[in-house]
Amino acid sequence: MEKTLNAKELIGISVISQEGDPLGKVAHVRINPSAMHIEGFLISRGIFREPWYVGRTYIEKISAASIILTIQPLMLLKGKRVVDAEGKVLGKIKEIARNGDANVLKSIIVKHFFKKEFSLPASAIESAGKSVLLKKSYGEKTQFRK
């Protein structure tokens, strides 16, 4: 039992994403009673924010200090700026669509002031960091799918 952790001690510890973003604190530990293993964790993100559930497959490391994930949760993309290949800011991410329940991006919904929101497929994205950079440029007259 020396190298084990007491499940009680996991409640309230920080959960950190792959890129080092503090996501919240462990609110619940979910256990599979037949397989006798941890299924996942419910992460509390504060009073006014919906908690997140993270399955065991996304956990890289559990220590007494924190839980480090193997992923950057897609929900973190919300609110980020979307920039095309010409450096033009197309808007901010209003919503994301995933493939099923997995942390795999299907598409993003982008909204800019005074303009209608539009959808872009995951394949249009070059990289996602502080902003989301797109692979190509989108001129003023580009028709976007809603």
Partner 1 sequence: MSNKKDLEKSIEKRKLKRSDQRILLQMIKQNISIKELENAVTSDDVLGKEVIDSKGEFLGVVESLFIDPETVEVAGIAIDKGLLKKGLIIGKSYIKNIAPHAIFLNIQPAYNLKGMIVFDREGKKMGAIREVQIHGTKNEIENIVIKSSIGELTIPSEYVKHIGDNVFLNETKENLLKLNQAS
- Dist. CA 96–CA 84, nearest whole Å: 18
**For residue 144, what are the CA distances in angstroms to 111, 113, 124?**
12, 16, 12
- Smallest gap, in angstroms, from Cβ of residue 55 to partner 1? 18
- Smallest gap, in angstroms, from Cβ of residue 89 to partner 1? 8
- Smallest gap, in angstroms, from Cβ of residue 29 to partner 1? 16
Positions touching partner 1 (CB under 8 A) are: 14, 16-22, 61, 63-68, 72, 80-81, 83, 85-89, 127-133, 137
- Smallest gap, in angstroms, from Cβ of residue 106 to partner 1? 20
Q: Which is nearer to partner 1, 21 or 117 (CB)?
A: 21
Which is it for strands 59-62 and 66-69: parallel, antiparallel or unpaired?
antiparallel
Cβ–Cβ under 8 Å, residues 71 and 105: no
Q: Which is nearer to partner 1, 49 or 88 (CB)?
A: 88
Q: How many CB atoms lie within 10 A of CB 82?
A: 24
Q: Which is nearer to partner 1, 79 or 87 (CB)?
A: 87
Q: Which is nearer to partner 1, 54 or 132 (CB)?
A: 132
- Dist. CA 120–CA 132, nearest whole Å: 12
